[in-house]
Amino acid sequence: MELSSIAKPYAQAIFEVAEQSNSISKWSSFLATASAVMSDESTKAFIASPGKSKDQKYDLISALIAKASSSELSKQESAVIGLILKNDRSAAIESIASAYEAAVSDANQSKNFKVISAFELSEGEKKAIIDDLTNKHKTTVSVETEVDESLKGGIIIKEGDKVIDTSIKAKVDALSVSLSVN
């Protein structure tokens, strides 16, 4: 199962709790910190270690998040970490954080996009992309950019689990598949 599919129910539940308690930004901060802690390679290795109990994993992750955020975890935050670890969903924490931010954006009537290009985009190119996306979606748009030199050219635009891939790499891959099928 794809991580974004796994992440949506967690993110939606967290968003509902955050909305009810009027703590949307607090949860954004918590999820960003949890994502950073749990995506660290040594933390991943510890979580994957079969010799460690779920309680040991929970204690370490909770302590690391508390230390990174300079505050004790709330009961709800602790429960989220416990649930993620209990269900072996630690690999999905980044997707949960992204899905949560998408839910926040939807609630604010705005959309967040990730634009991946082969080269650094100029300010004019970024503005053109933002203008096009704003016109298409009729809402406020924010864009995060990333460079992936393996694309060779073109761009990939992502919003949640939706992807528009106009990269040269995707076109070459599609051509390769069509040639190998025939």
Residue 5 pLDDT level (bands cut at 50, 70, 90): confident
Say whether pLDDT at 1 is over 60: no
In this structure, are residues 126 and 143 in contact, taking their beta carbons and an 8 Å threshold?
yes
Domains of the chain: 3-104 (1.10.520.20), 110-181 (no CATH)
Q: What is the CA radius of gyration of the chain?
A: 19
Phi, psi (5° rounding) for residue 121? -80, 140
Coil, helix or strand for 99? helix
Say whether pLDDT at 160 is over 90: no
* Chain segment 20-71, per-residue pLDDT in tens: 888 888 999 999 999 999 989 999 999 998 998 889 999 999 999 999 988 8
When pLDDT is averaged across residues 132-152 and rounded to a whole number, the result is 86
Mean pLDDT estimate for the chain: 88
Q: Count of residues for the chain?
A: 182
